[in-house]
Amino acid sequence: MRRNHMKLLMHHRDETVHEGVRTKKYSLKQCINCHASKETGSVTAAKDNFCVSCHSYAAVKIDCFDCHSSKPQSSAMMHPLSVEGAHLKHQMAAQAGVQVSVKDMAAMAEGVK
C-alpha cells in the first residue's frame, strides 16, 4: 500500500471527479472518516496522524490537504454509540485482541452511510 497508494488514490480521484463514482472505496472522505486521529480530529494535524506519520519521515509534502478537509465528516462519528462510528468498534476490538473477520468489517462499513 505504501508504494502504490498514490496510484490507487489517483485512479480513484479520476473516477470520482470525472465519472461521479463516489462509493466508499473511492471516497477520500471515507478514508479520513476512519483514519482521523481521535485526539486531533485530523489526518494531518500532529506528527503521528495517519498521513503525516509516514510523510514527515519520508519528507514528502502532501498536496491533498491544500484542498481536501483533513477532518472527518462530523464529530458525532467518534461516539461509540453512533452507527456511523462503527470503525471505532473495529479499533476497540483490535485493541482488545478480538478477532474481527473481513466479512464483519465489510458489513459494518456497508452499513455506514
Partner 1 sequence: MSEINKQPASEDRRRFMGTAAAVAGLAIAPGVLLYEVAHSKSDDVGVSNQTRWGMLVDSTKCATGCNDCVTACSTENGWQMPEQSKHPRQAPQWIRKLELEDPLSQVKTSLPMMCQHCAEPPCVDVCPTGASFKRADGIVLVDRHICIGCRYCMMACPYKARSLVHEPLNDTQKQDVPRGIGCVESCTFCVQKVDRGDGTTACVEACTAAGHNALVFGDLNDAESEISKLLRTLPTKEVRADLNLNLGVRYHGI
Task: Report in angstroms how near the CB of residue 112 gets to partner 1 at its nearest.
Answer: 14
> Nearest-CA neighbor of 29 among 69, 76, 2?
69
Is residue 97 a contact residue for partner 1 (CB under 8 A)?
Answer: no
| Nearest partner of 100 among 109, 90, 86, judged by Cα | 90
Shortest reach from residue 95's CB to partner 1, in Å: 26
Stretch of 17-25, 50-58, 89-97, 101-109 contacting partner 1, by CB under 8 A: 17-25
Give the cell for residue 88.
471505532
Contacting range for partner 1; rule: CB under 8 A; set: 54-62, 65-73, 78-86, 98-106 = 65-73
Residue with cell 462519528: 77
- Of the two residues 25 and 79, which places its CB atom closer to partner 1 in the complex? 25
CB 27 within 8 A of CB 33: no
